[in-house]
Amino acid sequence: MVYVLACNPTACIVALVALLSIGSTQASQPNILWIVTDDHRADSVEAYNRATTGKSESPLGYVSSPNIDALASEGVLFTRAFCNSPACGPSRASMITGRYPFRNGKYGWEQTHQEADFARPTVPQVMRDAGYHTAIIGKRHLGVTPRGSSRRGTPTLFDFEIDYESDLERNGIGDLVSTGAYGLVDAILLRKDATETVHYPDGRVKRYTLSRADRLLNAKEHNAKRAVEEEFDILRAYTMVNTGLILGGVNPKPAGETVDAYIVKEFQNHLQHAGERYKTLWSKEVEGADTDKPLFVNLGFHLPHTPVLPPQSFRERFRERSYRLPEFDADELAALPSQLVEAYLESKTDRMRPAEKLQAIRDYYAFAAYGDSLIGQAVDAFKRYSERTGRGYLIVLTIGDHGWHLGEQGVMAKFGPWRQSVSGAAIVVSSDVQRFPPGSVHDGMVEYVDFFPTVAAAGGVDVSLPDFDYLDGDDLAQVVEGQVPEREYILGEMNLVCGHRAYLRTDDFAFSMRTRDRRTVGQAPLLNDDVRWALTCKPRDADLALYDLRADPLERRNVAYTVEYHDLALWFREKLGNIVLGDGRIECDWSLPNSYSLSNFAGGADDKRISIPDGMIPPASAYGQLSAPPGIGAK
């Protein structure tokens, strides 16, 4: 780039210094790769297990993750990273907006937009303004439409987008593709048929009906479905709601030809063809990465999300491994509030035989191991690109947009406030080793809203400016350096499966509660109406759940309605309720351009401090001698 200066000598010198300063800043901006996996348990990573338990295997058994382990050795491993919603859509929206669900107004799978006054720029928009070429490749599921774009037009949050569903699978690039994957949910509630399509390595395609909206499958359809299930050893969920979900089986495609492998191939192509036009895997002409700009890529894997189908070569490595099945007793349901019983019924495992549970665990960890190999390929390609373009790099690996149960709490799913749903891990690696020292482990609590300020700050954005006061998280570099106070709790909320529910976790306790007395999405004029309901209703109606992690780290006994923990549960209700209901809560009717309500009756309640009154916390020994007299819920 050549600059021609037409000015007096003094002005020219000033302008030249300014231009050189800009050039220096741009040259110092690293390329940034943000990898997000889906439904990915942190304990599928050996490095995480070694850091938390001293053993390479998970609490259930053998796992394999050499590439992620190598990445962890190059940077900082965050062992207690918590998502802010245990479902794909709201979790990913919280990450790219940097805001809790109760502040960005996205609690479930609703499609949101930026026309509302309270909307603020997302991380790709901020990075674009900072001079970056931005791209998202793989799974998106963000649910945020940019301001000024057509509600049905091409998304423009990123400069370059390839989606695994609309671009890859719909163009015949994939393995086993489900349309209406939730089976009877789609058939009964959405009134549409659910189908699956198998893509064979030799190019053959087989499509069959999974369930029908108007009637049961006929004999021909049932036989076609059963033949595929036998061919690929498919294990499906047994519950009425999730009857179509595939919890185990073998992938019809070999390693390197699955949909996640093609996500990596598209990522590699975008880097290899930087600065030139090229054709995607389905022959669409696109532009490669812009070498005149630093690069920010959000690489979204679909695995190990259902359908859990590891390629044969990886499945064989796990086929003979023995695993411990998580303990669960139906008596645990007696202490659960009705809302959490609904979550259990959504994905319960009580009809699965031990051999089927074992298959689900083996195939899940095998699929995660396959993902590890693909992550290794993506990281290698990204490092080579950064070296070729003469830039440093930052790599952020978010291990799961949320977690996944493999029988804990008697379910195989997410959607709950329990640890297996909301806990994860993260790895941050920088070519600037001073910011993220290699081989470090950080065991303080961090949240997924921290990824936005971490990425933006690495790109040279001053997130301490008032323009970014809307962010709920912290720059993880500052967290590692101890420049920000350690938070004493994490937050989350969603409105899926069983309605609005929020959660708060500390070192010693896990608490959750129903936040609204309905489960419908925001609709004017009923926005933040009776917003204090969960704080004023009978405790039983708020469906409180409290676990004493000191004595019950696996969260198997709700003590919220026992005499010993009753006052503490009510204290947590007040603390969490004031935050999520009264400290900047947004409820929005997304069908309208600017129809929302802001609730701020307890502004400042989210102080990141847990100051439980003296004498309210029972000794851990009290856990073994609990009592729940009648009438406690009417107090």
Whether residue 588 contacts residue 598, with contact meaning beta carbons closer than 8 Å, is answered with: no
Q: Are residues 158 and 50 in the same domain?
A: yes
Residue 194 dihedral angles phi and psi, to the nearest 5°: -110, 135
Q: Give the span between the Cα atoms of 61 and 365, in whole angstroms.
A: 9
For residue 201, is it within any domain?
no
User: pLDDT per residue over 202-225, tens digit each?
Assistant: 999 999 988 877 778 889 999 999
pTM for the model: 0.93
Beta bridge partners of 586: 598
256: left (phi over 0), alpha (psi -120 to 50) or beta: left
For residue 369, being part of any structural domain is answered with: yes
- pLDDT score of 183 more than 60: no
Question: Among residues 481, 516, 547, which one ends one of the domains?
Answer: 481
Q: Do 265 and 132 share a structural domain? A: yes
Q: Answer positive or negative: Cα dihedral of 606, 94, 481, 28.
A: negative
What single letter denotes the amino acid at residue 69?
A: D
Query: Do 439 and 531 share a domain, yes or no?
Result: no
Cβ pair 57, 49 in contact under 8 A: yes
Same structural domain for residues 386 and 518?
Answer: no
Q: Say if residue 147 is in the same domain as residue 26.
A: yes
Copy the structure tokens of residue 43.
Answer: 């304990």
Helices (H), 186-311: 219-231, 259-272
**Averaged pLDDT score across all residues of the chain:** 91
Work out the angle at residue 314's Cα, subtended by the Cα atoms of residues 310 and 317, and round it to the nearest 5 degrees: 130
Collapse the DSSP code of 247 into the 3-class scheme (helix H, G, I; strand E, B; otherwise coil) and give the result.
strand
Q: Is pLDDT of 185 > 90?
A: no
Same domain? For 475 and 506 the reply is no
* 477 and 503 both lie in a single domain: no
pLDDT above 90 covers a percentage of the chain that reads 83
Per the structure, the complete domain to which residue 542 belongs is given by: 499-634
Nearest to 626 by CA among 560, 553, 562, 552: 562
Question: What integer is the mean pLDDT of 441-467?
Answer: 98
| Least trusted range by pLDDT, from 11-15, 320-324, 357-361, 406-410 | 11-15
Q: Do residue 629 and residue 536 come from a single domain?
A: yes
CB within 8 Å of 500: residues ≥ 6 apart: 107, 493, 494, 514, 515, 516, 518, 519
User: How would you write 81-115 as a 3-class SS string?
Assistant: EECCCCCHHHHHHHHHHCCCHHHHCCCCCCCEECC
Indicate the Cα dihedral angle 465, 466, 470, 476, nearest 10°.
20
Instruction: Say if residue 153 is in the same domain as residue 270.
Output: yes
At 288 the pLDDT is 98
In a domain, 330, yes or no: yes
Domain count, the chain: 2
Domain end marker among 453, 481, 509: 481
CA–CA separation, 418 and 328 (whole Å): 14
Asked whether the predicted pLDDT for residue 629 surpasses 60, the reply is no
Residues 441 and 552 in one domain: no
Domain shared by 311 and 371, yes or no: yes
Question: On the CB side of 203, how many CA atoms lie within 13 Å of its CA?
Answer: 0
Q: What is the pLDDT of residues 550-602, one digit of tens each?
A: 999 999 999 999 999 999 999 999 999 999 999 999 999 999 999 999 999 99
In order of 124, 297, 337, 411, 450, the CA distances from 129 in angstroms are: 9, 15, 47, 44, 20
Q: Note the Cα 119 to chain centre separation in Å.
A: 21
Residues 498-556 pLDDT 10s: 899 999 999 999 999 999 998 888 899 999 999 999 999 999 999 999 999 999 999 99
User: What is the H or E stretch that residue 608 is in?
Assistant: none
What is the average per-residue pLDDT within 262-270? 98
Residue with token string 């600017």: 594
The β-bridge partners of 33 are 297, 395
* Separation CA 457–CA 477 (nearest Å): 9
Strands (E), 448-576: 490-495, 500-505, 509-514, 545-548
**In this structure, what CATH number is given to the domain that contains residue 138?**
3.40.720.10
On the question of a cis peptide bond just before residue 485, with omega within 30 degrees of 0, the verdict is no
User: What would the mean pLDDT of 25-51 be, rounded to a whole number?
Assistant: 92
Residues 593 and 539 in one domain: yes
Query: Are 195 and 201 in contact, with CB atoms under 8 Å apart?
Result: no
383-432 pLDDT, tens digit per residue, is 999 999 999 999 999 999 999 999 999 999 999 999 999 999 999 999 99
Q: Tell me whether residue 541 is in a domain.
A: yes
The DSSP annotation for 451-492 comes to: HHHHHHHHTT--TTSGGGTT--S--HHHHHHT-SPPPS-EEE
pLDDT-based confidence at 27, cuts 50/70/90? low
- Report the pLDDT value the prediction gives residue 632, as an integer from 0 to 100: 45
